[in-house]
Structure 1
Amino acid sequence: MITMPVSEQSVVIARPASEVWDFLTDAANWPSWEASMVECEQVTDGELGVGTRWRGVNRVLGKRIDWESEFVEYQSGKVATSKSVDGSKVGFTATTRLEEVDGGTLFTYRVDTESGLGGVFGKLADPLVTKAYSRMMRASLDNLADLLTPDS
């Protein structure tokens, strides 16, 4: 059985879920906190929902990864899942999930890659690249919490 590399991290943000959701659902905000993201934009018009597409560029271990994704699940204020489409170099599914907890909002970010991010670097690199990306994701979530927490 082939396992898909998974990176998943969570952080508690001292803000109401509605404020965190509003920030996360604006594509232009992602490069301000997600360490590997260079560009991100919404390419379809209208409200965010199933079928909405975003396009962006990430840089992982010095490699440029262009991607486009489409939302396949969308529950406002709770969860959004997008899958890579078209000519994305890496097949992925990304899920953002929010949950109200004592002290604010628990934000969980999960990325499943079909061939592993190592597919860009070579199959043998999968474990190393996944580990490096997980560390980058941890730092990104901490950065997001700092960014959204007043007087921190």
Structure 2
Amino acid sequence: MPTVEQSVEIALPPKDVWEYIAVAENWPNWENSMVECKQITDGPMGVGSRWHGVSRILGKRLEWTSEFTEYDPPRSSKSTSVESPVSFSQTTTCEEVGDGTRVTYRLDSESGLGGVFGKMADPIVTKAFSRTVRVSLENLADILVHAE
């Protein structure tokens, strides 16, 4: 099971970071592979909420729907794909560190991120996506710190 995990520290409290990342429509602003994202269930975010989005990985468009299976603001959330060409789960955590927050983004893929490209591509796609996630988290930090 390929895993991509990256972290960044942001000079804001977890509550402030969480308020931004808990809004589906904010994700394309900072997550480089995400073309669009929206919450498709009514009501406040929580377990059972669903997001629908489109990501672009190595030029390939991937449409997906995920459902939150864990939701513990402002500490962590986990969502699992319910409709996607690649089965995945995504976990985001916000941990208080010093005067700020360590945000960790983790993606676990059962079939491998390269599944849509072919199994042989798994290591290449995973490495490329890991770099994309790292840059995306740095974008998140820049957006949030400059918004203050």
Q: If the TM-score is normalised by the length of the shorter chain, which range does it land in? A: over 0.9
Q: What amino acid is the match of 1:59?
A: R
Q: What amino acid is the match of 1:13?
A: I
CA RMSD of aligned residues (A): 1.2
Which residue does 2:142 correspond to in 1? 146
How high is the sequence identity, in percent, across the aligned residues?
59
Aligned-residue offset at 1:151: 7.6
CA distance in 2, matches of 1:18, 1:30: 17
SS at structure 2 position matched to 1:69? strand
Which residue does 2:94 correspond to in 1? 98
Aligned-residue offset at 1:16: 1.1
For structure 1, the residue ranges without an aligned partner over 5 or more in a row are none
Q: What amino acid is the match of 2:25?
A: A
Which residue does 1:26 correspond to in 2? 23
For structure 2, the residue ranges without an aligned partner over 5 or more in a row are none
The Cα offsets for residues 61-117 of structure 1, whole Å up to 9 and x where unpaired, read as: 00000000000011111100000003x111000000001111311100000011111
CA distance in 1, matches of 2:3, 2:50: 22
SS at structure 2 position matched to 1:150? helix
SS at structure 2 position matched to 1:143? helix
SS at structure 1 position matched to 2:54? strand
CA distance in 2, matches of 1:40, 1:142: 19
> Cα gap change, 1:151/1:83 in structure 2, threshold over 3 Å: closer, same or farther?
closer
Which residue does 2:118 correspond to in 1? 122
Residue 35 (1) aligns with residue 36 (2): no
The Cα offsets for residues 28-60 of structure 1, whole Å up to 9 and x where unpaired, read as: 000000000000000000011110000000000
CA distance in 2, matches of 1:110, 1:80: 11
CA distance in 1, matches of 2:114, 2:21: 27
1:71-90 alignment runs, 5 A limit? 71-86=68-83, 88-90=84-86
Q: What amino acid is the match of 1:75?
A: D
Residue 57 (1) aligns with residue 54 (2): yes
TM-score (norm 2): 0.97
CA distance in 1, matches of 2:73, 2:95: 12
Moved over 4 A (4+): none
Matched-pair contact (CA < 8 Å) for 1:12–1:103 = no
TM-score (norm 1): 0.95
Q: What amino acid is the match of 2:17?
A: V
Aligned length: 148
